[in-house]
């Protein structure tokens, strides 16, 4: 197997590590959470400011309403006073003209909707009345009445209580008429439109916990659900707010609940009457804050989840990238190993569909590996050993013969194994096919060499022992031909001695061949053009080829130079060509082929082929043996000498033959240069 260095694919680190990504998202979550909390605080502050402004607006509305009520009360009091004054003057004028009796006064009081009418003399004694006179009340009016009696005043207006008004008018005859009227309508107006009513209405609204008007002595007005509230005295915040002209606010606890309280001095028409305290519920603010905190929490959780998911995604992506790189490297290594392996590797699924078919398998079995993938192995290599492997038999170096498309027979060793998954099911069947052809040929060649060496040594010993008597026979024959010539039958005698002499020479030549085989001459290697060497051998043998009516085909152009003993190699080629001619002498229009081609790794291949009758399989293994021949006059030395010459050049010779088709001798030689 050729050496190779696989390309190492470096794993590029990603720009962002999962830990960094998670930390980045965590920091982002903290920062965004901090901003969100700050935003919530700002929103809370803004909401409290809005509530404070709303409280100010409410206080101003209450103050303006109270001012309007006070002005309306003043106008009503003036109207009531003028009405009473007109009625009193009418009665005073009537009393100056006639005496006023109780009956008359009662009738006039009823007609003019007066509560009570009293008539007094200059001494302050009661002359007539439409009702029951309160002496204590009259005693309280004495100072004013004396001014009327003295003529200092013509009329006086008295506010007896919150429910009654009274007017006293002097009569011309010296008496005084006192007229009283109810202030119910004025009180109703005050109740309907006063600050207390507005405070109750505002206090009943949703979101307003309470609204009270309070002075240092106690409550002046309050919303309906307020019974008791902290006094101003002793509360520094309230005492400070009472002397200010602005709104103050604070968070206080009222009935166990924290609320927002705004405090503003209540000063209608510029006179401070007390503090207006407005308590507003913080429920909406709490809901907003809870919603905001929930949003912040969800945002932070979302960012953390995104960070975790992102980090996980980056981790998964990196792992996938690492796995992809590792898979690519393994695939590259496997592909290179399979490509560089000298043995054929074939992998199929359990039914024999080809999944892997390396270069060696392509070279050995033929077919393009990209085309055979997906086909059944039995279609590509129809052999019983394939069936055995696919049926589950695990082979170990099982030897079989395979004939390729060119007709060449190869000796193969097949090993197979099954790859199972975790469940024990067969997923893949792997076959490793080793081509033993060269090994078998080399072993056979080695055995031939050993046999030839042994037989050559034996032949040399025999030839040496035969050669001495043969020389004596040759000398005797020569003397007989010269010294012992018979008187009769001279011609026959000469022929017989000539035959003996020729046979001695022939035997001597055979002995020389034996000795040459046993003790071959040293090779005289030199650089030679192989095409020229083959051309010379072809030219030497061609007359003999033509004489037998055959044709010699040449195919050895551009095969380059080799380092060989040209004479001995030519002798080997002539022996092979001569054998081819002899095997085809009785055949017409046939051809002998002499070819050569370059092989990889510095080898050349020389082919001598004929289309003769072929060699029987039983004799094929013995053709290089010493003395083996199928010819009537053959010595069995020619092919042995060819084998010896090729072997001494470091090469080997192979033979392929089929009966009725011909024989092919293939010489494999190293270039040596």
Separation of alpha carbons 22 and 544, rounded Å = 93
Is 55 a residue whose pLDDT tops 80? no
CA atoms within 13 A on the CB side of 62: 31
Q: What is the pLDDT of residues 97-108, one digit of tens each?
A: 787 888 888 888
Whether residues 483 and 613 fall in one domain:
no
**Residue bearing the bigger pLDDT, 26 or 635:** 26
The SS3 call for residue 485 is: coil
Number of domains in the chain: 4
Token representation of residue 396:
């170990």
pLDDT value for 244: 80
* 8 band by pLDDT with thresholds 50, 70 and 90: very low
Q: Which of 258, 223, 206, 329 is nearest to 48 (CA)?
A: 258
CB 104 within 8 A of CB 183: no
Q: What average pLDDT does this structure show over 583-612? A: 85
Q: What is the pLDDT of residues 508-530, one digit of tens each?
A: 877 776 666 666 677 889 999 99
Q: What is the pLDDT of residues 112-161, one digit of tens each?
A: 778 888 888 877 788 888 877 666 666 667 767 777 776 677 777 665 55
CB 342 within 8 A of CB 16: no
Q: What average pLDDT does this structure show over 580-608? A: 84
CB 419 within 8 A of CB 428: yes
DSSP states along 262-274 = EEEEE-GGG---E
Is 370 a residue whose pLDDT tops 60? yes
Separation of alpha carbons 585 and 336, rounded Å = 53
195-203 vs 184-193: helix crossing angle, rounded to 10: 40
Separation of alpha carbons 97 and 672, rounded Å = 176
Q: What average pLDDT does this structure show over 41-70? A: 73
**Residue bearing the bigger pLDDT, 77 or 243:** 243
The greatest distance separating any two alpha carbons of the chain, rounded to the nearest whole angstrom, comes to: 238
* 561 band by pLDDT with thresholds 50, 70 and 90: very high
Q: What is the pLDDT of residues 321-358, one digit of tens each?
A: 888 888 778 777 777 777 777 788 888 998 888 888 88
The SS3 call for residue 306 is: helix
Separation of alpha carbons 360 and 339, rounded Å = 7
Whether residues 345 and 451 fall in one domain:
no
Read off the CATH number of the domain in which 663 is found. Answer: 3.30.565.10
Whether residues 501 and 611 fall in one domain:
no
Is 493 a residue whose pLDDT tops 90? no
Whether residues 404 and 474 fall in one domain:
no
Separation of alpha carbons 255 and 238, rounded Å = 19
Secondary structure of 211-261 as H, E, C letters: EEEECCCCEEEECCCCCCCCCCCCCHHHHHHHCCCCCEEEEEEECCEEEEE
The SS3 call for residue 99 is: coil
pLDDT value for 186: 54
Whether residues 300 and 348 fall in one domain:
no
pLDDT value for 13: 46
The SS3 call for residue 163 is: coil
Whether residues 598 and 615 fall in one domain:
yes
DSSP states along 546-583 = HHTT-EEEEE-TT--EEEE-HHHHHHHHHHHHHHHHHH
Q: How many degrees, rounded to 5, is the angle at CA 235 between CA 61 and CA 231?
A: 65
Q: How many degrees, rounded to 5, is the angle at CA 491 between CA 489 and CA 496?
A: 95
pLDDT value for 456: 63
Token representation of residue 287:
């809901």
Which residue's structure tokens are 């592909």?
Answer: 335
Separation of alpha carbons 377 and 381, rounded Å = 6
Separation of alpha carbons 178 and 125, rounded Å = 12
Buried b (16+ CB within 10 A) or exposed e, 7-39: eeeeeeeeeeebeebbeebeeebeeeeeebeee
Final residue of a domain: which of 518, 540, 572?
518
Above pLDDT 90, what percent of the chain? 9
Going by their DSSP bridges, the two strands 591-599 and 551-555 should be labelled as: parallel
Q: What is the DSSP letter of 376?
A: B
CB 641 within 8 A of CB 660: no
**Residue bearing the bigger pLDDT, 163 or 259:** 259
Q: What is the DSSP letter of 353?
A: B
The SS3 call for residue 423 is: coil
Token representation of residue 12:
């590029």
Q: What is the pLDDT of residues 533-554, one digit of tens each?
A: 999 999 999 999 888 888 899 9
Q: Which of 430, 502, 511 is nearest to 468 (CA)?
A: 511
Q: What average pLDDT does this structure show over 610-626? A: 83
Token representation of residue 149:
């009696």
Q: What average pLDDT does this structure show over 19-33? A: 70
CB 122 within 8 A of CB 175: yes
Q: What is the pLDDT of residues 263-290, one digit of tens each?
A: 888 777 667 777 888 888 888 878 887 8
Whether residues 627 and 481 fall in one domain:
no
Final residue of a domain: which of 435, 459, 475?
435
Read off the CATH number of the domain in which 430 is found. Answer: 3.30.450.20
Whether residues 372 and 312 fall in one domain:
no
Whether residues 451 and 302 fall in one domain:
no
Whether residues 31 and 115 fall in one domain:
yes
Q: What average pLDDT does this structure show over 83-106? A: 82
Burial of 90 (0-12, 13-18, 19+ CB in 10 A): middle
The SS3 call for residue 65 is: helix
Above pLDDT 70, what percent of the chain? 81
pLDDT value for 626: 66
Separation of alpha carbons 644 and 447, rounded Å = 12
Token representation of residue 152:
């200092």
Whether residues 248 and 120 fall in one domain:
yes
Whether residues 333 and 346 fall in one domain:
no
List residues bridging with 429 in a β-sheet. Answer: 348, 418
Q: Which of 314, 263, 247 is nearest to 22 (CA)?
A: 314
pLDDT value for 565: 92
18-97 vs 283-340: helix crossing angle, rounded to 10: 170
The SS3 call for residue 522 is: coil
Is 1 a residue whose pLDDT tops 60? no
Q: What average pLDDT does this structure show over 647-660? A: 88
Q: Which of 7, 5, 13, 17 is nearest to 328 (CA)?
A: 7
Domain that holds residue 514: 441-518
Q: What average pLDDT does this structure show over 186-195? A: 56
CB 166 within 8 A of CB 84: yes
Final residue of a domain: which of 496, 518, 540?
518
Q: What is the pLDDT of residues 437-482, one digit of tens each?
A: 788 777 777 776 676 666 666 666 666 677 778 777 877 878 777 7
């Amino acid at each position: 197997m050729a050496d190779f260095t696989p390309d190492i694919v470096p794993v590029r680190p990603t720009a962002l590590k999962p830990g960094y990504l998670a930390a980045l998202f965590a920091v982002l979550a903290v920062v965004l959470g901090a901003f969100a909390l700050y935003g919530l605080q700002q929103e809370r502050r803004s909401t409290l400011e809005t509530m404070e402004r709303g409280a100010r607006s409410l206080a101003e509305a209450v103050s303006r309403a109270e001012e309007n009520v006070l002005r309306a009360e003043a106008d009503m009091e003036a109207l009531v006073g003028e009405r009473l004054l007109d009625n009193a003057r009418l009665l005073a004028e009537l009393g100056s003209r006639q005496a006023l009796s109780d009956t008359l006064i009662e009738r006039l009081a009823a007609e003019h909707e007066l509560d009570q009418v009293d008539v007094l003399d200059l001494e302050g004694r009661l002359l007539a009345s439409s009702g029951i006179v309160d002496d204590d009340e009259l005693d309280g009016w004495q100072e004013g009445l004396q001014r009327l009696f003295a003529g200092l005043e013509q009329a006086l207006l008295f506010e007896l209580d919150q429910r009654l008004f009274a007017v006293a008018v002097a009569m011309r005859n010296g008496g005084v008429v006192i007229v009283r009227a109810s202030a119910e309508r004025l009180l109703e107006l005050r109740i309907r439109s006063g600050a207390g009513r507005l405070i109750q209405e505002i206090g009943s609204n949703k979101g307003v916990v309470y609204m009270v008007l309070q002075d240092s002595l106690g409550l002046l007005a309050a919303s309906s659900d307020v019974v008791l509230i902290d006094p101003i005295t002793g509360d520094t915040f309230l005492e400070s707010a009472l002397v200010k002209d602005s709104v103050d606010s604070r968070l206080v606890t009222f009935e166990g609940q924290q609320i927002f309280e705004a405090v503003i001095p209540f000063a209608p028409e510029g006179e401070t009457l007390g503090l207006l305290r407005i308590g507003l519920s913080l429920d909406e603010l709490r809901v907003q804050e809870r919603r905001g905190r929930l949003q912040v929490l969800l945002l932070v959780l979302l960012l953390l989840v995104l960070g975790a998911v992102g980090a996980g995604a980056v981790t998964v992506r990196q792992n996938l990238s690492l796995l992809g790189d590792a898979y690519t490297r393994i695939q590259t290594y496997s592909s290179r190993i399979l490509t560089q392996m000298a043995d054929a590797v074939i992998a199929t699924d359990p039914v024999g569909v080809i999944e892997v078919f390396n270069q060696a398998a392509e070279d050995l079995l033929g077919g393009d590996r990209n085309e055979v993938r997906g086909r059944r192995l039995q279609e590509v290599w129809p052999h019983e050993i394939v069936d055995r492997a696919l049926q589950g038999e695990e082979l170990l170096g099982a030897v079989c013969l395979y004939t390729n498309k060119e007709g060449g027979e190869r000796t193969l060793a097949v090993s197979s194994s099954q790859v199972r998954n975790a469940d024990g099911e067969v997923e893949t069947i792997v076959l490793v096919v080793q081509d033993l052809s060269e090994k078998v040929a080399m072993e056979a060649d080695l055995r031939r060499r050993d046999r030839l060496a042994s037989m050559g040594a034996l032949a040399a010993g025999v030839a040496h022992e035969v050669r001495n008597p043969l020389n004596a026979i040759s000398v005797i024959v020569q003397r007989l031909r010269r010294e012992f010539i018979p008187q009769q039958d001279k011609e026959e005698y000469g022929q017989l001695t000539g035959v003996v002499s020729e046979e001695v020479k022939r035997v001597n030549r055979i002995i020389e061949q034996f000795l040459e085989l046993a003790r071959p001459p040293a090779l005289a290697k030199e650089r030679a053009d192989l095409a020229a060497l083959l051309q010379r051998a072809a030219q030497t043998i061609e007359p003999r080829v033509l004489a037998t009516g055959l044709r010699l085909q040449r195919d050895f152009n551009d095969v380059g130079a080799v380092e060989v003993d040209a004479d001995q190699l030519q002798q080997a080629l002539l022996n092979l060509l001569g054998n081819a001619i002899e095997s085809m002498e009785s055949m017409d229009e046939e051809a002998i082929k002499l070819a050569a081609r370059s092989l990889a790794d510095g080898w050349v291949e020389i082919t001598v082929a004929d289309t003769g009758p072929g060699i029987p399989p039983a004799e094929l293994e013995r053709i290089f043996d010493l003395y083996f021949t199928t010819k009537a006059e053959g010595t069995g030395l020619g092919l042995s000498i060819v084998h010896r010459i090729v072997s001494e050049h470091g090469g080997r010779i192979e033979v392929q033959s089929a009966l009725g088709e011909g024989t092919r001798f293939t010489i494999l030689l190293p270039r040596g240069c």
